[in-house]
């Protein structure tokens, strides 16, 4: 992709994991190009390209690659599990590697090919102390003082997990947007609603901070798997059904491994007139 770059154009890729969709910019070998203005413009589904998150690939820093993540509102995201899997698949196919390391704001992550053309990524160990999630004060993280008594989990970004009896009846937009900026979360929060259907089976819907409702959320699925196990509702290995399909989660000693499908939809180039308007 770098060969296509000129001062007046910008190549990008569109990818998704279970409908959780991403614009991916490959900036290896050059300076980072993403700015809040570019992220907001590209994220506009009517006037730009549209995405749930933007991922920018940069040269590795003691790793095979580095990844930065942006939300549609122009803010940066600390972690994005499905985008990490999508980019990992792209890099492994390009290089012929079966595994690689990825530097993110979350830390150094490992990714690998899995059976049936799936991709696995280790999203690291969850952050369970209130200050690390982070929360604004020292409270019981497994029973937050919020209506519904949700669970707080950090996965490089904060998550607020509500366990519900009937997920079909949850107004995700209303409750998600109301909880995103709750004062207990100084950096705002992703909001998950989860219905446990068995010891290894969960249905989840999600409201992502800075974006809204998405069809899937990798870090959110990790947070739900951790929260469900902490509450004694499931084991450490679960399958989670999101609006876009299924993810497999396995909380091991070295972190939370997430496995699922990826899709590279197309590669294109932004028109000079689009970039000049920013």
What is the mean pLDDT of the segment spanning 199-214? 96
With residue 85 as reference, give the H or E element that holds it: helix 81-95
CB atoms within 10 A of CB 202: 27
Architecture per CATH, domain 151-253, reads as Roll (3.10)
* 222 flagged as catalytic: no
Residue 2's pLDDT band, with cuts at 50, 70 and 90, is: very low
With residue 220 as reference, give the H or E element that holds it: helix 218-230
Residue 149 Cα distances to 8, 51, 140, 152, angstroms: 51, 31, 10, 10
CB atoms within 10 A of CB 57: 21
What percent of the chain has a predicted confidence (pLDDT) above 90? Answer: 93
CB atoms within 10 A of CB 19: 15
pTM for this one?
A: 0.92
Pick from 172, 148, 184: nearest CA to 220: 172
What percent of the chain has a predicted confidence (pLDDT) above 70? Answer: 97
Report H helices in 155-212: 172-180
Measured in degrees and rounded to the nearest 5, phi and psi for residue 172 equal: -65, -40
Supply the pLDDT for residue 1.
Answer: 41
* 217 flagged as catalytic: yes
Residue 278's pLDDT band, with cuts at 50, 70 and 90, is: confident
Among the listed residues 80, 86, 160, 222, the single catalytic one is: 80
Structure tokens, 52: 């749930």
CA 155 to chain centre: 10
**pLDDT for 51-66, tens place per residue?**
999 999 999 999 999 9
**pLDDT for 173-186, tens place per residue?**
999 999 999 999 99
Give the residue extent of every domain in the chain: 2-123+262-276, 151-253
- Tell me whether strands 237-242 and 245-252 are parallel, antiparallel or unpaired: antiparallel
Q: Are 28 and 2 in contact (CB under 8 A)?
A: yes
**Two domains, one topology: 2-123+262-276 and 151-253:** yes
In words, the CATH class of domain 2-123+262-276 is: alpha beta
Among the listed residues 86, 160, 217, 222, the single catalytic one is: 217
What is the mean pLDDT of the segment spanning 164-192? 97
DSSP symbol at 186: T
What is the mean pLDDT of the segment spanning 146-169? 97
Supply the pLDDT for residue 9.
Answer: 82
**pLDDT for 98-147, tens place per residue?**
999 999 998 999 999 999 999 999 999 999 999 999 999 999 999 999 99
């Amino acid at each position: 992709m770098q060969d296509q770059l000129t001062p007046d154009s910008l190549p990008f890729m569109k990818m998704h994991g279970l409908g959780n969709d991403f614009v991916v910019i490959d900036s290896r070998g050059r300076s980072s190009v993403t700015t809040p203005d570019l992220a907001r413009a590209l994220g506009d589904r009517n006037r730009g390209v549209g995405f749930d998150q933007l991922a920018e690939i940069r040269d590795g820093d003691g790793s095979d690659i580095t990844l930065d993540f942006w939300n549609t509102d122009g803010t940066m995201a600390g972690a994005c599990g499905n985008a990490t899997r999508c980019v990992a698949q792209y890099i492994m196919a390009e290089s012929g590697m079966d595994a690689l390391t990825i530097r993110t704001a979350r830390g150094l992550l490992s990714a690998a090919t899995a059976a049936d053309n799936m991709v696995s990524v280790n999203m690291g160990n969850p952050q369970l102390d209130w200050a690390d999630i982070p929360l604004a004060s020292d409270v019981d993280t497994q029973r937050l003082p919020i209506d519904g008594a949700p669970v707080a989990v950090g996965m490089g970004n904060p998550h607020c997990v509500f366990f519900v009896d009937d997920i079909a009846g949850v107004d995700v937009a209303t409750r998600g947007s109301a909880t995103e900026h709750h004062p207990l979360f100084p950096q705002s929060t992703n909001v998950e609603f989860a219905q446990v259907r068995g010891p290894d089976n969960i249905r989840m819907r999600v409201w992502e901070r800075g974006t809204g409702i998405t069809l899937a959320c990798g870090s959110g699925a990790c947070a739900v798997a951790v929260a469900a196990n902490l509450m004694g509702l499931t084991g450490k290995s679960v399958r989670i059904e999101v609006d876009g399909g299924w993810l497999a989660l396995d909380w091991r000693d070295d972190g939370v491994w997430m496995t699922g499908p990826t899709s590279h939809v197309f590669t294109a180039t932004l028109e000079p007139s689009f970039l000049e308007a920013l």
